[in-house]
Amino acid sequence: MKFSGSYVAIVTPFNPDGSVNFDKLKELVKWHLAEGTDGIVALGTTGESSTMSHEEDDDVARCVIETVNGRIPVICGAGSNSTQTQLEKSRKYHDMGADGLLLITPYYNKANDEGMYRHFATVADAVDTPIILYNVPGRTGCAISPACCARLAKHPNVAGIKEASGNISYAAKIAKLLGDDFCMLSGNDDMIVPMMSLGASGVISVWANICPRQCHDLVAAYQAGDTAKARAIQLEYLDLINALFCEVNPIPVKEAMNQLGMGVGGYRLPLCEISGSGRETVRRALEVLR
């Protein structure tokens, strides 16, 4: 599968008691379908899977896959710093019918280049579901080297990379690997146009949680050759995008969604409510939507 377009890194809504709000999750998925979102990524960083049980992860993945019902691709975050755990989760989501698996680098324990390669190749060898590598060293403390990425790109079941380092020089090195069988998706909302200029086929977006239509239109405009329109959308919403990262993701985006009346609830520790100054930053930035 060639992953292309605007993929929302969907939040996981919680009830007041902290449990997953599956009714709201279904509502959000249906809204994204209506708003033109090209694909949904469940259980990513924005989905707070790091504070959810494996059983909750499974239930969220199942809920999103069943609600989408094949209308757009669903990518499930199956990553772990334990390769064995990552493999087990990947097999589950493969059996559920996920269209892709988002696999993160092994945070905390890290790895040398050979270990990094095997961390991903172990899953790629075991399941048929296409794999998206997830490079986000600011979160994990480790990165996929260009050499390791080049090895993985040759694997028939490694379909691409979510590049979220914010390092355009690194992205340019990865861009040399792109082709029909290996794509790059921007992992940074403030760099969608620059990343697409290097060959990225779209974005896995936090911003799309509140602006799905605008994010879709930005990517579609660039793909249609209207770089001026894509650039204009990128710059028009840049202050809002930056506000969504004024504190650690997904605190600001959930705050924004709640300010917009979307009722996605709170967080699980160690994430907690936004600061007063952060709340005001988000409030001011949302004026662009009014």
- Region 199-218 average pLDDT: 98
| Long-range Cβ pairs for the range 21-24 (8 Å, 24+) | 21/264, 21/265, 22/59, 22/60, 22/63, 24/263, 24/264, 24/265
pTM (global) more than 0.75: yes
- Residue at token pair 């990524």: 41
Instruction: Look up 117 and say whether it is catalytic.
Output: no
The torsion of the CA quartet 121, 122, 123, 126, rounded to 10 degrees, works out to 110
Which residue stretches of 20-126 are H helix?
A: 22-35, 54-68, 83-96, 113-126
Summarised one tens digit per residue, pLDDT across range 64-112 is: 999 999 999 999 999 999 999 999 999 999 999 999 999 999 999 999 9
- Asked whether the beta carbons of 29 and 280 are under 8 A apart, the reply is no
Summarised one tens digit per residue, pLDDT across range 28-58 is: 999 999 999 999 999 999 999 999 999 999 9
CA distance linking residue 195 with residue 202, whole number of Å? 8
Instruction: Look up 176 and say whether it is catalytic.
Output: no
Q: What is the pLDDT of residue 290?
A: 84
Summarised one tens digit per residue, pLDDT across range 250-281 is: 999 999 999 999 999 999 999 999 999 999 99
| Residue 136, pLDDT above cutoff 80 | yes
Query: Exactly one of 162, 237, 254, 267 is catalytic; which is it?
Result: 162
Domains by residue range for the chain, with CATH: 5-230 (3.20.20.70)
Q: What is the pLDDT of residue 1?
A: 73
Q: What is the pLDDT of residue 2?
A: 86
Query: Exactly one of 134, 170, 237, 267 is catalytic; which is it?
Result: 134
Neighbours of 259 (CB within 10 A): 13
